[in-house]
Amino acid sequence: MNIFLAGDSTVQTYDASSAPQAGWGQFIANYFTTEVQFLNRAIGGRSSKSFIAEGRLDSLLNELNENDYLFIQMGHNDATESKPERYTDPYSDFKHYLNMYVQVARNRKATPILITPVARMHDNGGIFVNDFPDYCNAMKQLASEEDVRLIDLMTMSLNYYTSIGYDETLTLFMASLNGTDFTHFTEKGADRIARLVTQGVKELQLDISKHVLLKDKAKVHLFLAGDSTVADYPASQAPMAGWGQMLGAFFSDEVVIQNEARCGKSSKSFILEGHFQRIVGKIGNGDYLFIQFGHNDEKPDGTEPFTTFQSFLSQYIDMARQKGATPVLVTPVHRRRFDEAGRLVNTHGEYPAAIRELSELRQVPLIDLCAATEGLYQSLGPEDSKQLFVWFTPGEHQNYTEGVEDNTHFSEYGAKEVARLVIERIADMGLPLTACM
């Protein structure tokens, strides 16, 4: 079953060079079963008129088959009076051109679905404004006159923006990054709008509605990819623990922690040994992927900071985004190593800097756990910081009868304190996960 998308830049699929700008057509397939295939023919700067004038509707005519669907979202560019090649009068030209899409679909025994234009971020005195009221009304008139099913995305998006507030709405738009673009979406925003469209499909109770996969909003899955400082440990190694083991204690049951971190793994070996693939098979829309590597990348068979390390980390970022999840980069926790003056020594070389650079280049949220743990260890000093790690004299603990002085791996207390640092940074960034703490 095929669903074709005809629309503008708020719908279109963007290539990686435009990231994090995205259209909702990029993400909608993630909300449907694999029996449904989306073919996104939307393109930036097109109105209902210019899309036809360029021969794009004719191309759709040749692609559409019986039982397919044609989703049509137009309006943004139809309202551009300064560009006559785009502009249409809402109640005459606009309705006329939209009806051409409807008839093309029906002539091919496909089902047309009209979608009112998605709302821009236009706030007026605390109220989000519909910039295209006449075009929305004209589309609704046509839907009634021609008995076409309609998804009122304008109303749905305005209601959604109101429900989450100005600050959170801003993160959905490119204006959160460049300060000027209140029309085009970030990947996060495009995903949220795709979900609204999917909800509209579900409510229409169409034949394709049975293929909708809307996850229970009460559950968000937080996946962890990392090394031994993040991993879960068995009781036989207690009190050794990774911070990922303690993270769930800070969240409500709305968040499910999926700790896939493995001891001894680098960003490279985690992928090559198949651990990455486990996450690929489970992660989905609205989930999160926290990525902390560095300790084992420093080894001879590891990676180079500003080349292969960044390249492997990018694979995690790309996979998460393709799945509609949010990637979060995490710099490696410090080892406990002080110099003679009582100052913490950086053992990670340029790996933290490489992660910070990649975060900026790819516009990925960053938890600078390297800096955070430096502050924690330094505040405790060389002696008291031992309590964060696995330190026992011979015979002191049944699991470490010969004693241990481990300056890399955390005790349960240390893992919990580092997890607390992660939680604080999540809150500082304002990630939606904050609402689930």
Q: Pairing relation of β-strands 111-115 and 21-22?
A: unpaired
Catalytic residue among 50, 228, 269, 359: 228
Q: What one-character-per-residue DSSP string does 297-349 give? A: TTSTTS--IIIIIHHHHHHHHHHHHHTT-EEEEEPPPPP--B-TTSPBPP-ST
Catalytic residue among 184, 221, 348, 409: 409
Is 379 catalytic? The answer is no
Is 228 catalytic? The answer is yes
What is d(CA 302, CA 287) in angstroms, rounded to the nearest whole number? 28
- The tokens of 201 are what? 């499909």
Is 275 catalytic? The answer is no
What is d(CA 103, CA 365) in angstroms, rounded to the nearest whole number? 45
What is d(CA 325, CA 222) in angstroms, rounded to the nearest whole number? 9
Question: Torsion-angle region of residue 196: left (phi > 0), alpha (psi -120 to 50) or beta?
Answer: alpha
Three-state DSSP at 70 gives strand
Q: Which H helix or E strand runs over 98?
A: helix 95-107
Contacts of 362 (CB under 8 A, 6+ apart): 19, 20, 314, 317
- The tokens of 400 are what? 């470490």
Catalytic residue among 54, 85, 203, 405: 405
In 393-434, at which residue ranges do the beta strands (DSSP E only) sit? 404-411
- Residues with catalytic function: 228, 405, 409
